[in-house]
Structure 1
Amino acid sequence: MAATARSLRSNAVPASRRPEPAAKPASRPELRVVNGGRTDKDDLAAGFSRFMEWVRTRSAPTVHIIVAVVFLASTLIGALMLRTQMVQNAFEVSAIETSISRLTQDVQDDQAKLDQLQASLPQKASDMGMVPQSSSVSIDLNGYKSTEGK
């Protein structure tokens, strides 16, 4: 019997901590049909008028909201224009790089042709009967006198 009393005392809760018994169970809310809902034809006008009424009742003036909307729209348009310009510039760069590579190839082809012609020049000169010069020729004009003045 002593063991039973002990377990009763250890499980005992002080009076200040005891939960209050619920007087009534919570009632369930009832659902009902609401008539007079919105119609689709005046949604935009009604929404705008509600928005304007909300703006008038708030501390932020309408001008601040209009400035914010204009700023957001202008930044969007500016970003789109900047993106478009960047794409156009990328296409121009690509076309210019293609043109440069084509011109570089043309210059290399012409340089190869010139080198080939210069290499064949001595053979063509000997075929025409020309001989290489054995010594250099120099003309001394120190003692030259003009005959035009006489």
Structure 2
Amino acid sequence: MAATQRSIRSHAAPAGPDRDAGHSQTRPQLAVVRRHNATDAMVEGMHRIASWTRARSAPMIHVVIAVIFLVASLVGSLLFRTKMIENSFEQSQVESSIFTLTQDIQADQSRLDDLETSLPQKAEKMGMVPAQKSISVDLNGYKVPDTDGSK
């Protein structure tokens, strides 16, 4: 039975030029495609968006608000990144100036230490002698002299 069905199917559509005689096939037509420049493409895109929003329940204002939000987000992100880079650059400059000042302070401190250690030797060269005992002045009984002459 399967062989019979197969032969019926194979004989149903005869092969060769006789098969195409009863059917008229149409070839697809060729058309010239015009090249668009960038402005035409942008205008066409805007027209597509406008027609899409008219066909949908969302009005054009929602699309405009979404585009403004996206542009504002992009600009805000770029400004934020620029400010972060400026702050980073300023921080590195401040750190380098702090490092330079720290080096200057260490150099001045080492010179001060050298001067303090050489101070007793310089005093001896000038003829100074170390104090034998400490001298103190007691100002408890001191009175300020009256200069205006009222008493």
Same fold (TM over 0.5): yes
Q: Residue 100 of structure 1: CA displacement?
A: 0.4
SS at 2:29 equivalent: coil
The CA deviation at 1:51 is 2.9
Question: Who is 1:50 aligned against?
Answer: 48
How big is the alpha-carbon RMSD for the aligned residues of Structure 1 and Structure 2?
3.4
Aligned residues: 133
SS of structure 1 residue aligned to 2:50 = helix
Distance in 1 between the 2:50 and 2:145 partners?
107
Partner of 1:64: 62
Shift of residue 33 of structure 1? 2.5
1:83 aligns with 2:81: yes
Deviation digits for residues 13-72 of structure 1, max 9, x if unmatched? xxxxxxxx6976xxxx96522436445368434443233222211122111111111111
CA distance in 2, matches of 1:138, 1:50: 100
**1:59–1:121 distance in 2 versus 1, CA, 3 Å:** same
2:22: which partner in 1?
none
- Aligned residue for 1:137, secondary structure, equals coil
| Structure 1 residue corresponding to 2:110, chosen from 109, 112, 127 | 112
TM-score by length of 1: 0.70
% of aligned pairs identical?
A: 47
- Deviates further, 108-117 or 54-63: 54-63
Which residue of structure 2 lines up, in the alignment, with residue 32 of structure 1?
28
The structural deviation recorded for 1:146 is 6.1
Give the unaligned 5+ runs of structure 1. Answer: 1-20
For 1:11, the equivalent position in structure 2 comes to none
Look up the equivalent residue of 1:91 and give its one-letter code. F
Which structure's residues are more often helix, by fraction? 2
Q: Structure 2 unaligned segments of length 5 or more: list them.
A: 1-8, 14-24
